[in-house]
Structure 1
Amino acid sequence: MKTLTIALAALLAGCCALLWWQHHDNTSLSAKLAAASTAAIAADFEASAARADVVRITAFVDRVRVVHDTTATLRQEIPRYVTPTADRRYLLPNGFVWLHDAAAAGVPEVDATGDPDAASEAVAASQALDIIVGNYGSCHETAEQLSALQDWVRGHIDPDMAPAR
């Protein structure tokens, strides 16, 4: 009788072990299946987002190219509108050059020596205009970059998480 009890206990323990192993194996299989499904969905989403990003980047590059080309065209027109005669006749004052250089360097103090009203022999009006046109072009290119970045962020924000407007 004792042997039969031990045999039944061993059989019961074996059945429990087999059921536990089968359940554990199925749980592991379910987890693997769920992980694979999640990975496939994520890959599809990333591929879709990448395609959308290519469209956004292409549009951005096109807009920046237009700004760059416009700036180049305007720079070519400078000699037509500010001729060498005008450069000789209308000399920029030192004060203009000093303040422009301080603004370009991003410093609050002007490095000034001499008379601010005296004509600057170093910078002609056409040269100043070339710098100013280039600066405006850079500003417009930066604005296009920021606009493209904002569009990209808006395309990647979950509408439920977006701030209220």
Structure 2
Amino acid sequence: MHIHLNDDDISRMPESLRHLFLNWLPEYLKTNNSWFEQIPVNQIRQPEVSSTQLFLNLENQTLENKADNSHVRLSQLFDAGMTKRGMAVRVKLKREEAKKRGREYINSLEISARGTIVYDGEEFDKPSPLATKVTGGAANGWEYVEVKKNNEWICLDKLREIWRTTND
């Protein structure tokens, strides 16, 4: 199967699909760029095409590759309705950091209008970089970041697991 997308095609996508696509594409290209080519316009015979056209060849993409490269983003949970704007977020601190700060969690966070989390002026669409920044060392954000849903704190890993069962 071949899918040809130009800038105009992408701009016409529904906003949530465009957001997912534009966030997914760079991640996928990092791990599997053999099926992607950028073709300059001067090699395309359609004058209405913008400066760059994307050529996607999905023939070689197996279900196994898809599962291996399925990096879930916070905005995907948001787009699926699993998180909502203003939902409370907390990050569990590592033991040494908790002792130093005199508390177990950073509680003053929430889901943004884009489905991301803003901390210290930086926007995060993945929980691990957020957890790393908050805890001061490498941390699996899916285990360290929790959202308050129905008056209960839920680890993002559980929401990701639910998302994957309905979207893989």
- Highest Rg: 1 or 2? 1
The structure with the largest helix share of the pair is: 1
Q: Shorter chain as normaliser: what TM range?
A: under 0.3
Tell me which of the two structures has the higher relative contact order, counting C-alpha pairs closer than 8 angstroms and 6 or more residues apart. 1
TM-score of the aligned structures, taking structure 1 as reference length: 0.21
Please give the TM-score of this superposition, normalised by the length of structure 2.
0.21
